Amino acid sequence: MALRSILEYPDPRLRTRAQTVTTFDAALGTLIDDLLETMYAAPGIGLAATQVDVHQRLVVIDVSDERNAPLVIINPEIIEREGEAKTEEGCLSVPGIFDEIKRATRIRLRSHDRAGQVNESEYTDLLAVCIQHEMDHLEGKLFVDYLSQMKRERIRKKLDKERRERTAEAARGAGGARRAY
């Protein structure tokens, strides 16, 4: 396993649309393990392959407090959505920035697992929000895209300044108990 480096906004590679995963082999297994290790180390509650510059439709998530419930979601497709609520989101690619985003509160998802088996499951609350956030990454979309142009510009300048002054790890730490994905 290896840690992968996480791309940061406004890196244009974060705008790449990911490709469908068609081969479920050992290389995919290694990528999944690397993504999990990178997510746990960040620390974050979710990570899309896009964020480590691998443009395949693959995300990993763990919203548990114990950090022992990893979820691997490949080729996700939302087949039902319900409700709407605002949740504070953060993103490992936009370190130290948090804002409220409106998402569906319940989704039904069809996806592949790491063995290539098709799954259909229902997710609610933070898990549903996190999946929608990660699926946006696969489309080249970031949570800051939902904010106003003015806010986005302010965020970009703040991150530029921080990158000059300190490390991204320190910026991520600035979120305190808040969670990023």
Tell me which residues are annotated as active site: 134
Residue 131 binding Ni ion, by CB under 5 A:
no
Distance CA 103, CA 113 (A): 24
**What is the closest distance, in whole angstroms, from the C-beta atom of residue 27 to Ni ion in the complex?**
24
Task: Please say which residue, 41 or 118, places its beta carbon nearer to Ni ion.
Answer: 41
Q: Which residues contact 88 (CB under 8 A, 6 or more apart)?
A: 98, 99, 100, 178
Distance CA 171, CA 40 (A): 16
Range 49-108, binding Ni ion (CB under 5 A): 91
**What is the closest distance, in whole angstroms, from the C-beta atom of residue 117 to Ni ion in the complex?**
26
Residue 18 binding Ni ion, by CB under 5 A:
no
- Nearest residue to Ni ion on Cβ basis: 91
Task: Please say which residue, 21 or 135, places its beta carbon nearer to Ni ion.
Answer: 135
Residue 168 binding Ni ion, by CB under 5 A:
no
Q: 3-class DSSP state for residue 31?
A: helix
- Residue ranges in contact with Ni ion by CB under 5 A: 91, 181
